[in-house]
Amino acid sequence: MSFYLRPLVAAVGLALAFSVQAAKPAKSAKAAKPAAKQATAAAPAHVASSDLELAHNLGPVGEQHLQAVVDRFNKETGGTMKLVRLEKGQKPTGLNLMRRYDMAEVLAHPKSFVPLYEMMAKAGEPLNMSDMSVDLKAGVVDAKGRLVALPLAYSTPVLFFNKTAFRKAKLDPDQPPKTWFEMQGMLDKLQEAGFTCPYTTSWPVWVHIDNMSAVSGVPSMTEKGALVFNGLPQVKHMAMMTTWVKAGYFKTFGRRDEASAKFENGECAMITTDSREAVDFREAKGVELGVAPLPFHDDVYGGRQHTLADGASLWAGAGQSATQSKQAAKFVSFLLKPEMQVELVRIYGQMPLTPAARAAARSKILKNEDETLQIAYASLNGKGAEPWRARSQHRPGAHHRQ
Amino acid sequence: MRAANIDPVRIIANEELEAAWADKKPPKAALDAAVHRGNAVLNAKPGLKKSQPF
């Protein structure tokens, strides 16, 4: 796992940093120094306490990148926004970049936040998110479809594979597995070729319960919030994974993204993890990166459905002054500009929020990341499934959805 | 709403997945236990079922 110039192993990446940092001791909120003063000649003088704060719990490299974004914002707008750390159990501040993962308790308190659409409207900033991908709206819209937070760093699970490993195992590097069943034969060949870890996964629950369920068309939870991931497709999948563990095809390393480092160092030939990790894998030595949609089970009724998007979103905290709210709204507009979106994609690998940003990203990011983004979007829209759907419907005896 | 996003549910699901993959429990028993234990937590704290605060 590395971030951009990959000075870190295992501890960076947005998603990653969120989780890793939460377990670490609190760092002073003053650790991140704003560098805004010099550019603010035209701006009114602020006392420190009235400055807008952006709280995050990224790792050191993530923090450095975010600081650069904040500096740029302050410079361009004469703002005085400060970066601070968001620790577990702490009250939200003006703006809060957080992932639901590890922050479920904080996000259970509506009084701590202001809905994003409300903040933007009051500040007179536009928020035309109607053209934003519906898939990116998970967990950030209210019952009326209004945007309550900005899904800034979302991605979706994909299958990454090492083309170099494929060649060693005499597999076609341009033919990644489409189904879990097809994948099994490839894992056997990789093992024969000497790979001790043919396949691994990061975020096991997210990939193998939530997304595997979604792809099979049987959600892991009902709309009312009851867990239902013990149906036939999930049990069959889990049974298959168990046989893979026994056969040595599938190795696990932890509950978060511990496995990502094992793919990056070439030990594991394939991994299922969030699409944004393409930016971490791109410079891995000995790894020629291949990317494919998350495999599916072709004997599940209805064929391949879509994967799920998730990640960190930006939440506005309650109790801010009008000046602070206005600046926060301005920052949201700043982040939505296509050039900033492209910059963020380059750094984090997340999915751009708007079609304009998506189009801009195509020409300006590396081929690997562009390919990953295209696959991620196709996977979310279910379009990547179309060629296979027809086939599975023609299979006799394939209909055993509960 | 996703199981992985509810901290206590994710912890339970991880425990049960690990039990299945370590061959300590049959896969169905592990998933049944994860669903049963997870729903017990959600019923005790229904606020956790909300995907966003508003």
Q: Tell me the average pLDDT across A242-259.
A: 97
CB nearest to B35's CB, from A210, A229, A239: A229
The confidence score (pLDDT) of residue A49 equals 55
What percent of chain A shows pLDDT beyond 70? 82
**Residue A296 DSSP one-character state:** B
**B35 to chain A, closest Cα gap in Å:** 6
Residues 6 or more apart whose CB falls under 8 angstroms from that of A23 comprise none
Tell which residue, B11, B38, B28, B37, has the closest CA to residue A233.
B28
Q: What is the pLDDT of residue A2?
A: 38
For A:40-59, CB contacts with B below 8 A are none
Q: How far is the C-alpha of A225 from the C-alpha of A187, rounded, in Å?
A: 36
- Give the span between the Cα atoms of A278 and A373, in whole angstroms: 9
Instruction: Calculate mean pLDDT across residues A362-391.
Output: 66
Q: Which two tokens stand for residue A311?
A: 């990640």
Q: Least CB-CB distance to A227: which of B7, B39, B50? A: B39
Q: Is A181 exposed, middle or buried (0-12, 13-18, 19+ CB in 10 A)?
A: middle
Q: How confident is the model at residue A314 (pLDDT cuts 50, 70, 90)?
A: very high
Find the helix packing angle between A14-22 and A60-77, rounded to 10°. Answer: 110
User: What are the φ and ψ backbone dihedral angles of A147, each rounded to 5 degrees?
Assistant: -80, 115
Residue A107: count other Cβ atoms within 10 Å of its Cβ. Answer: 25
Q: Would you say the ipTM is above 0.95?
A: yes
- Test the A interface: residue of B7, B10, B32 with most A CBs within 10 Å: B10
As a whole-number percent, the residues of chain A with pLDDT over 90 amount to: 51
Residues sharing a CB contact under 8 Å with residue A383, sequence separation 6 or more, in sequence order: none
Q: At residue A153, does pLDDT exceed 70?
A: yes
Any chain B CB within 8 A of the CB of A131? no
pLDDT higher than threshold 70 for residue A152? yes
Q: How far apart are CA A182 and CA A184, in angstroms?
A: 5
pTM for this structure?
A: 0.82
pLDDT at A392 > cutoff 80: no
Q: Could you tell me if A155 and A309 are in contact, meaning their C-beta atoms sit under 8 angstroms apart?
A: yes
* Residue appearing with tokens 């975010």: A66
* Residues 6+ away with beta carbon under 8 Å from A192: A169
Phi-psi region of A303 (alpha: psi -120 to 50; beta: other; left: phi over 0): left
DSSP string, A41-110: TTSPP--GGGS-EEEE---HHHHHHHHHHHHHHHHHHT---EEEE--TTPPP-SEEEEESTTTTTGGG-G
Q: Identify which of A31, A268, A256, A13 has the alpha carbon closest to the alpha carbon of residue A153.
A: A13
Q: Which of A140, A205, A307 would you mutate first to test chain B, the one with the most B CBs within 10 A? A: A205
> Which tokens is A136 given?
């990116």
Contact call for B34 and A229, based on CB within 8 A: yes
* Domain boundaries, given as residue ranges, for chain A: 14-155+310-364, 157-308+375-393
- pLDDT tens profile A315-370: 999 999 999 999 999 999 999 988 898 888 888 888 888 888 888 888 888 888 88
At residue A171, the 3 state secondary structure works out as coil
CB A372, CB A294: distance < 8 Å: no
Q: How many CB atoms lie within 10 A of CB A359?
A: 12
The residues, any chain, with a CB within 8 Å of residue B50's CB and separated by 6 or more, are A108, A225, B1
CB A210 within 8 A of CB B2: yes
Cβ of A230 and B28 within 8 Å? yes
Of A87 and A291, the structure prediction assigns the larger pLDDT to A291
Q: Is A174 on the interface with B (CB under 8 A)?
A: no
C-alpha–C-alpha distance, residues A191 and A171, integer Å: 12
Give the one of A108, A224, A229 whose C-beta lies nearest to B31's C-beta. Answer: A229
- In chain B, residues with a C-beta closer than 8 Å to the C-beta of A241 are 20-21, 27
| Residues of B with Cβ-Cβ distance to A246 under 8 angstroms | 23
Looking at chain B from residue 16 to 35, which residues have their Cβ under 8 Å from any Cβ of chain A?
Answer: 17-18, 20-23, 27-28, 30-32, 34-35
Q: CA angle, corner A120, sides to A116 and A125, nearest 5?
A: 150
| Fold agreement between A14-155+310-364 and A157-308+375-393 | yes
| pLDDT at residue A282 in the model | 83
Mean of all residue pLDDT scores within chain A: 82
Report the residue from B3, B27, B53 with minimal CB separation from A205.
Answer: B3
pLDDT tops 90 at residue A3: no
User: Between chains, do B17 and A235 touch, taking CB under 8 Å as contact?
Assistant: no
Residue-wise DSSP of A181-236 = HHHHHHHHHHHHTT-SEEEEESSHHIIIIIIHHHHTT--SB-TTS-B-TTSHHHHH
Q: What is the pLDDT of residue A207?
A: 97
Q: Please enumerate in sequence order all residues whose Cβ is within 8 A of that of A128, keeping only pairs 6 or more positions apart, or say none.
A: none
Q: Beta A268-274 vs A197-201: how paired, if at all?
A: parallel
Q: Which of residues 294-353 of A touch B (CB under 8 A)?
A: 308, 310
Q: Is the pLDDT of residue A196 over 80?
A: yes
Residues B16, B22, B24, B26: what is their CA dihedral angle, to the nearest 10 degrees? 70
Closest alpha carbon within chain A to B4? A206
> By CB neighbour count within 10 A (0-12 exposed, 13-18 middle, 19+ buried), where does A145 fall?
exposed
Query: Taking the domains of chain B in order of start, what are their residue ranges?
Result: 3-47
A247 reaches B (C-beta below 8 A): no
CA distance A22 to chain B (A): 13
Considering the four listed CATH numbers 3.30.420.40, 3.40.190.10, 2.30.30.790, 1.10.3720.10, the one that applies to the domain covering A14-155+310-364 is: 3.40.190.10
A297: left (phi over 0), alpha (psi -120 to 50) or beta: beta
With an 8 Å Cβ cutoff, are B18 and A100 in contact? no
For residue A307, which amino acid is it?
T
How many Cβ atoms from other residues are within 10 Å of residue A371's Cβ?
Answer: 16
For the segment(s) A157-308+375-393, the CATH number from 3.30.460.10, 3.40.190.10, 3.90.79.10, 1.10.1200.10 is: 3.40.190.10
Sole residue written with tokens 């109790």: A319
Per the CB < 8 A criterion, the answer to whether A304 and A296 are in contact is yes
User: What is the predicted pLDDT for the residue at A381?
Assistant: 64
A230 touches chain B (CB under 8 A): yes
